[in-house]
Amino acid sequence: MENSFDKNGDELKSYGLTCEKWTPSLMRKPDRHNEIEINYFPERGITYLFQGKKTIIPAKKLTIFWGLVPHQIIGCDGNAPYYVCTVPFSLFLEWKFPQSFVDRLFKGEVLFEVSESNWQYDEYLFNNWLNDINSNKSADVALLEIRARLGRMAIGNLSFERKDPSSVHSTEISQVEKIAIFIAQNYYKPIKVSDIGKAVELHPDHANAIFKKTFGSTLSEYITEERISHAQRMLVSTDRSITDIVFDCGFNSISRFNAAFLKINECTPREFRKRYQ
């Protein structure tokens, strides 16, 4: 059975330890979860949007990133299935990988191996992990192999698709992608719908309409989601005060932040920090 992204799923839904096959599809909103995510594409890569940057994930190369960083598929060629493995955040930390490897993930980088030499081996491993974890019989063996495979990755030759926003060429992306990228790069500023329309050279109403048709939310709703996502990451990964976080992620009112946070997460920022930190 192959899975696909559920656009109606809960915000920051916990996946836990999983290994599944997924069918690539464009995602109407970013996914966020507090696990380490490992991807492997046997046939064709895909294009993610990570923190406002187009990130091309190549085929046949083990790829890893922190799922709390908003990630959204905005480009895929065909429907060839790929593997998704998630490892609980606390378990990943227990594995004590080199600090440089861990730090790069926590900074929001997407890491993958330079060489394709392991592709047949990796597909064999993922098939075993999928069977072991979902059968509930050999999950311990799968965890040993996952830890060893990531350990080898951590000491190997890694690359990553982390480009400066100026290197994203507008001719390569659609109008909707340009809108999503502009918001992801500027949500912490006091931007309005009119600012977005001006940036992408569209009437604000038209920009709002085509964005909602594609992503299922208005521009204002999407800006709020990006700001709350930023707050979530700060609450989990830092000890900064909630007041500092409010203004750092783009809100100009603590009461508006609290109302938006409660609506999306069904808990207060303080409760959220206690639950996930």
- Do 249 and 230 contact (CB within 8 A), yes or no? yes
State mean pLDDT over 204-209.
92
- Do 184 and 250 contact (CB within 8 A), yes or no? no
Listed in sequence order, the residues at least 6 apart from 161 whose beta carbon sits closer than 8 Å to its beta carbon are: 53, 55, 56, 57, 110, 112
Strand partners, 55: 48
| DSSP classification of residue 43 | S
Q: Is the pTM of this model over 0.75?
A: no
CATH number of the domain at 2-159, please? 2.60.120.280
User: Which class for 9: exposed (0-12), middle (13-18), buried (19 or more C-beta within 10 A)?
Assistant: exposed
- Supply the pLDDT for residue 7: 52
Q: Is the pLDDT of residue 89 over 70?
A: yes
- Supply the pLDDT for residue 165: 38
What is the spatial distance between Cα 151 and Cα 146, in angstroms, rounded to a whole number? 8
Antiparallel, parallel or unpaired: β 18-22 and 2-3 = parallel
- Supply the pLDDT for residue 215: 67
E-strand stretches of 52-104: 53-57, 63-66, 71-76, 82-88
pLDDT tens, 124-168?
999 999 999 998 677 889 999 999 999 999 998 787 544 433 333
Q: Is the pLDDT of residue 179 over 80?
A: yes
DSSP string, 143-189: HHHHHHHHHHHHTS-EE-----GGGS-GGGS-HHHHHHHHHHHHTTS
Domain ranges of the chain: 2-159, 170-276
CATH number of the domain at 170-276, please? 1.10.10.60
Q: Is the pLDDT of residue 228 over 50?
A: yes
Percent of the chain with pLDDT over 70: 87
Q: What is the mean pLDDT of the chain?
A: 84
State mean pLDDT over 210-223.
83
E-strand stretches of 6-135: 18-22, 35-40, 46-50, 53-57, 63-66, 71-76, 82-88, 111-113
Strand partners, 58: none
- Supply the pLDDT for residue 118: 84
pLDDT tens, 24-68?
888 877 888 878 999 999 999 999 988 767 888 999 999 999 887
How many residues appear in the chain? 277
- Supply the pLDDT for residue 277: 63
Per-residue confidence at 88, pLDDT binned at 50, 70, 90? confident
